[in-house]
Structure 1
Amino acid sequence: MLITRLQISNLRNHSDTKLVPNANLNVFYGPNGSGKTTILEAVSIAGLTKTFTSSSDAALIQQGKKEYIVNAEALNHLDLPYKINIEYRLNQKKQIVNGNGENLLPKEVIGQIPLIYLSPDQKNITGGSPENRRDFVDRILSQSSRLYLDLLIKLRKVLKQRNALLSKFKQKEYFEASSYESWTNMFIELASQIVIRRAEFVNNFKDYFKSAYSEITNKSEEVELFYDANTIPNFDENKYSQEEIKEFYHKKAELRRTAELARGQTLFGPQKDEIRIQINKGIAREIASQGQHKSLLIALIFAEFEYLLDLKNEVPVVLLDDIFSELDDYRTSLVLEKVLSKETQTFITLTNPELIKINENFKEKITFFELKEGIVTKK
């Protein structure tokens, strides 16, 4: 995918930025607070309908303004045009309109511009909580499968309702048996489908991951990826059917009913799953060195790139936010040479443009943009 034009209005310190990026590496440099990351956030909003950071939509609006607007134009691998306009006004629903003037839902946008992003916060994928790894898997599956995204959205809504019912009992000691059974059945039906698809993904993705890690390290270290489905015994060693998974969940719902009513929340299901990363047969989160964590993270990002490329038949757009603060020169060069050799459109932020050190053959593929207080100047 190739973004040919980007317009940003009232997004953080960008009042009215118009950008025509090149097809390869776009480097945005300037001091902290100049608006570098906001460029990448705008691309993320165009592709995912939200920023890749933890900021809320309201927090993205420029101070003193009431809305932000992101407008993007792109070409796919068949040179077919794609346009998207996303506007968010305070205390209102996000308005998303395509090039034909049709109003869209976020789920109809996600995956149209396949995106991969790497930022300092991403280090939590290998070293953080299970939630970080679930989010990583969900973001890949959501971009590659509309069905999975639909299931995930429904699951989150049902889980919210079921938790609200459990919390209601905890607070008022009133139990609606019929409602409980209804929401539990809906939750288990959706949860079982999510588990099946996550398991299939991990089984396919692990080969991409192992190949990428071997490419990065050139070492004999052994890495593995496993899917540990919450409350389902030896899940990775067995190929359970959806009906068997549902049976496990129904038994667990019965066993944990008293505890759930006491705590006011759901205590089983895919929202508690773990995607286990291993290195040399040990759990990476517990035993990996700082250098190994960095290599594991890059391997996951490289694997994500290749996986989405194969599944979507579309080269993903890559966002690299301040990677020089986390990666050493060797690993940074690996990342840059990877995206340049694949001829993928890449947006990168840094404070000093001289940090970019790559092969002379690639220099003609780089465009530098300087930022000062939300103003972008092509160099």
Structure 2
Amino acid sequence: MFVKNLKIINFKNHPEKTFDFSSDINCFVGNNGSGKTNILDALHYISMGKSFLGVSDFQNIRTSETENKSEDFFSIESEIVGEEKNDIIKILLQKESKKLIKKNEKTYDRMADHIGFLPSVIISPYDANLISDGGESRRKFLDSMISQTDSEYLFSLIQYQKTLQQRNALLKYFQKNRIFDLDSLEIYNEPLNKFGTQIFEKRQQFVASILPTIQHFYKIISKGNETVIVTYESDLNVSDSAKNDRSFEILLKENLEKDRLLTYTSKGIHKDDLRFEMNGNLIKKFGSQGQQKSFLIALKLAQIKRIKEITNKNPILLLDDIFDKLDDNRVSQLIELVNEQDFGQIFITDTHKERTENVVKRINEESRIFEIN
């Protein structure tokens, strides 16, 4: 499976652009601000139905520089070559309208139904947030990894988040009106327990399964002797002796008074986190910039391999501005791994055409270079 072409209209800074891609390597070169990353983001939309930059859909509608006003819509369209047939994916967003995602002109009822059709992995400068930011960034990353390979997980996650919002809204209502109804609040305990436990178990299993691959890639990229560990931290993590008598539902009851005071649900899998360690210490505090970058690349490459193992699909690999952020040694290791692992279709952005051409020569695949003005 690979992306055959891409057409974008009124997307970010691009009025209209069309690309015909190589099934192997595609490079976008141009000055900073030319819109290279925006093209990768359009590909991410085709894969995940949203921006990888975390901005709202409406912010991606192009604003005219001459008239200083935004257009009325944006559209992204792509033909995806599969083993048996080709599919057309189209994303359309009009002002004051709901975003539409279509497959062969048939609109998905839910965006969740599209997730996993064309899996993708992006390596970008923004990955540093996974180490420096709080737990929310790491939870979103973990959810994104699992959701691309497990539709049941995605369904449980959506149901959990919906129930959590309803419980929190009720807690705020109680405080505002100075009332409290335990029976009404406990209605949400059963679905939170059901879906939360499912999510917890799948997260546990996924992290355990991907850790050896992360360690393998880190060792290759860093050429170092450090040992890296990824630990899944959750309010539901309990000792073996306590597993039989402590559930998510009990956790909610134990923190009822705290939740009343705070007016939100203070404990649960929505507070989970990933702990990144190197030689027993937090990478955030003790890892050098080079070690942190090596770890993040190993994390993403492990994600690619895991998706491929589970789905038999090669995710598209999006490399944003990666060569400006890595030293030559790490670039060499990354290119070598890309060659060896058969990672499928690759999209690269860079500011230097000559550097990009030299990198591409070292990968024994067909390639195309697009200059972005």
Does TM-score exceed 0.5, indicating one fold? Answer: yes
**Which runs of 5 or more residues in structure 2 are unaligned?**
64-69
1:223 equivalent in structure 2: 228
* Alignment of 1:252 onto 2:242: no
2:67 equivalent in structure 1: none
Task: Name the CA shift for 1:191/1:343 in 2 (closer, same or farther; >3 Å).
Answer: closer
Q: CA deviation at 1:264?
A: 0.9
Question: d(CA) in 2 for partners of 1:128 and 1:231?
Answer: 22
After superposition, the C-alpha distances for 1:272-315 in whole angstroms (9 at most, x for unaligned) are 11222221122222322222111110110110111111111011
Q: CA deviation at 1:203?
A: 1.1
Q: CA deviation at 1:68?
A: 0.8
After superposition, the C-alpha distances for 1:24-44 in whole angstroms (9 at most, x for unaligned) are 221111122211111111111
2:34 equivalent in structure 1: 34
**Which runs of 5 or more residues in structure 1 are unaligned?**
373-379
5 Å-filtered alignment, 1:150-189, equals 150-189=155-194
Q: CA deviation at 1:113?
A: 0.6
The residue type equivalent to 1:2 in the other structure is: F
% same residue: 30
Q: 1:210 aligns with which of 193, 211, 215?
A: 215
Secondary structure, in 3 states, of the residue corresponding to 2:252? helix
1:297 equivalent in structure 2: 296
Q: CA deviation at 1:98?
A: 1.0
Per the normalisation by structure 2, the TM-score is 0.92
After superposition, the C-alpha distances for 1:165-217 in whole angstroms (9 at most, x for unaligned) are 11212222222322200012221211111001100111111111111112212
Secondary structure, in 3 states, of the residue corresponding to 1:88? strand
- The question of whether the paired residues in 2 share the 8 Å contact of 1:24 and 1:345 is answered with yes
* Alignment of 1:264 onto 2:270: no
Task: Name the CA shift for 1:240/1:196 in 2 (closer, same or farther; >3 Å).
Answer: farther
Q: CA deviation at 1:79?
A: 4.6
- The question of whether the paired residues in 1 share the 8 Å contact of 2:222 and 2:330 is answered with no
1:134 equivalent in structure 2: 139
Per the normalisation by structure 1, the TM-score is 0.91
1:74 equivalent in structure 2: 80
5 Å-filtered alignment, 1:1-379, equals 1-63=1-63, 64-76=70-82, 78-99=83-104, 101-230=106-235, 232-234=237-239, 238=240, 244=244, 247-341=246-340, 342=342, 344-356=344-356, 357-358=358-359, 360-362=361-363, 365-372=366-373
Question: d(CA) in 1 for partners of 2:319 and 2:208?
Answer: 27
- The question of whether the paired residues in 1 share the 8 Å contact of 2:200 and 2:236 is answered with no
Task: Tell which deviates more after alignment, 3-12 or 323-332.
Answer: 323-332
The residue type equivalent to 2:15 in the other structure is: S
Task: Name the CA shift for 1:145/1:231 in 2 (closer, same or farther; >3 Å).
Answer: closer
Q: What RMSD in Å do the two structures reach over aligned CA positions?
A: 2.0
- The question of whether the paired residues in 1 share the 8 Å contact of 2:29 and 2:349 is answered with yes
- The question of whether the paired residues in 1 share the 8 Å contact of 2:13 and 2:35 is answered with yes
Report how many aligned residue pairs link the two structures. 365
Question: d(CA) in 2 for partners of 1:361 and 1:219?
Answer: 24
After superposition, the C-alpha distances for 1:338-373 in whole angstroms (9 at most, x for unaligned) are 33441521111122222334374537633111111x
Task: Name the CA shift for 1:351/1:184 in 2 (closer, same or farther; >3 Å).
Answer: same
Task: Name the CA shift for 1:363/1:249 in 2 (closer, same or farther; >3 Å).
Answer: closer
Secondary structure, in 3 states, of the residue corresponding to 1:309? helix
- The question of whether the paired residues in 1 share the 8 Å contact of 2:2 and 2:81 is answered with yes
Secondary structure, in 3 states, of the residue corresponding to 2:188? helix
Question: d(CA) in 2 for partners of 1:218 and 1:361?
Answer: 20
Question: d(CA) in 2 for partners of 1:155 and 1:187?
Answer: 6
Q: CA deviation at 1:324?
A: 2.8
Q: CA deviation at 1:248?
A: 2.9
Question: d(CA) in 1 for partners of 2:48 and 2:337?
Answer: 23
- The question of whether the paired residues in 2 share the 8 Å contact of 1:117 and 1:320 is answered with yes
Question: d(CA) in 2 for partners of 1:292 and 1:210?
Answer: 13
The residue type equivalent to 2:22 in the other structure is: N
Task: Name the CA shift for 1:89/1:371 in 2 (closer, same or farther; >3 Å).
Answer: same
Q: Which runs of 4+ in 1 moved over 4 A?
A: 238-241
